[in-house]
Amino acid sequence: MFLHKAIPIHEVKVENRDPVFAEKLLEQYGGATGELSAALTYLTQSYHTENAGIRDMLQDIATEEFSHLEVIALLIEQHTERASKNLQDKAYQSTLFAIRGPGPHLVDSKGSTWDSRYVNEGGNVVRDLRANIAAEAGALNTYEQLIAMTTDDGTRQALVHLATREVAHTHMFMEALRSMDAFEKPQFGDLTPDGTVDLFFHLHSGNGADTRGPWNSEPEFRYVADPLREIEQRRGSH
């Protein structure tokens, strides 16, 4: 059961309306990394696990994402409603809202319609949680770009709140993986890896390309400086 109360999770108060900026905000309404995509993703993922705690977490975050969608909708509404009444507003006439009308629409900033393929779920809770961390990073990056573009204090405050919650959700997903002892293990499922699981192949050179780090050094990895020789040796051993 979903209950909607017309009390935004964060107050939305736009003083300096900007329909051009509102068009960019559509990215978080009907875009690939937007709030609708996140809400439907996490809700669907919640049915991929029998862990009651993780299911509850995913459903709580999904519901919060719907409230974030409401904040974005209100921002777009306030940024476009006054401009739409002024037919001489060239900025408004140059945006998607000139055709579609003021307020939010299920399109991204370029007018492409929201697609259910944006819902990222794969039937395995470990896979899903890892995908969620990447998704929250994408949303956070978008919010940071939007925050840098706006000159309206009320808009900035709302976007900072939404961006902050992306950070919080990322932390929750990370801790959920840790609770399953799955945060630092790249493998899950029933796969039995072959003998290359710990090899790092040095496949290009120049521009600091042979820099060593924890991603290609012992004890986690065996650095293969000459991949062709390694392949020939492996073929010869069969």
- Dump the DSSP string for 48-92: G---HHHHHHHHHHHHHHHHHHHHHHHHHHHHHHHHHT-TT-HHH
Which tens digit of pLDDT belongs to each residue from 187-219? 888 889 998 899 999 888 776 667 889 999 999
Residue 102: cis peptide before it, omega within 30 degrees of 0: no
Average pLDDT of the residues in 121-142: 96
- Integer Cα distance of 154 and 137 in angstroms: 23
Which tens digit of pLDDT belongs to each residue from 33-52? 999 999 999 999 999 999 99
- Integer Cα distance of 87 and 51 in angstroms: 55
Contact 45, 52 (CB under 8 A): no
What 3-state DSSP class applies to 224?
A: strand
Buried b / exposed e across 120-130, counting CB within 10 Å, b at 16+? bbeeebbbbbb
For the entire predicted model, the pTM comes to 0.89
Q: Could you tell me the end-to-end alpha-carbon distance of the chain, in angstroms, rounded to an integer?
A: 60
Residue 211's pLDDT is: 85
21: exposed, middle or buried (Cβ count in 10 Å: 0-12, 13-18, 19+): buried
Residue 99's pLDDT is: 92
- Integer Cα distance of 220 and 59 in angstroms: 36
Is residue 238's pLDDT more than 80? no
**Bridge-partner residues for 74, per DSSP?**
none
Of how many residues is the chain composed?
A: 238
Write the DSSP symbol of residue 170.
Answer: H
Which tens digit of pLDDT belongs to each residue from 132-173? 999 999 999 999 999 999 999 999 999 999 999 999 999 999
Average pLDDT, the chain: 92
Please state, for a pLDDT cut of 70, what percent of the chain lies above it. 95
